[in-house]
């Protein structure tokens, strides 16, 4: 048997539900976007709003475009580089040998 509570499922202070209280909603458009994994997303936009070229896929996070046959490429993620990796990009082995020889000479008191 159901309880006699008439306001079940609503919050205190809630007014009447329906469009009459809130006003008319704006006309909407549903636009399809596809990511490189083949996921389809259909966000809705106001009919007079500017539709973006890309949209983030809620399933994988990749960018999605409106063209199903050629979706945008996923972003390139570069692996984390250590400080030594950046130094090796800037300096050759010969430069490293020269710097090491200079530092050792300084420690030995030759300079």
Q: Which residues pair with 63 in a beta bridge?
A: 56
d(CA 57, CA 32): 11
Residue 90 known to bind ligand? no
Residue 39 known to bind ligand? yes
Residue 60 known to bind ligand? yes
C-alpha separations of 73 from 31, 43, 61 in Å = 20, 20, 12
Phi and psi torsions of 30, nearest 5°? -105, 120
Residues annotated in the binding site, as ranges? 35, 39, 57, 60
Residues annotated in the binding site for Zn(2+), as ranges? 35, 39, 57, 60
């Amino acid at each position: 048997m159901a309880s006699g509570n008439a306001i079940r499922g609503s919050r205190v202070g809630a007014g009447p539900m329906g469009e009459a209280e809130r006003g008319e909603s704006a006309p909407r458009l549903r636009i399809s976007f596809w990511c490189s994994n083949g996921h389809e997303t259909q966000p809705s936009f106001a009919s007079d709003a500017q539709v973006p070229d890309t949209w983030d896929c809620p399933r994988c996070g990749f960018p999605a475009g409106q063209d199903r046959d050629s979706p945008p490429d996923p972003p390139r993620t570069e692996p984390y580089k250590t400080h030594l990796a950046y130094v090796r990009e800037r300096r050759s082995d010969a430069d490293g040998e020269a710097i090491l020889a200079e530092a050792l000479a300084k420690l030995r008191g030759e300079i």
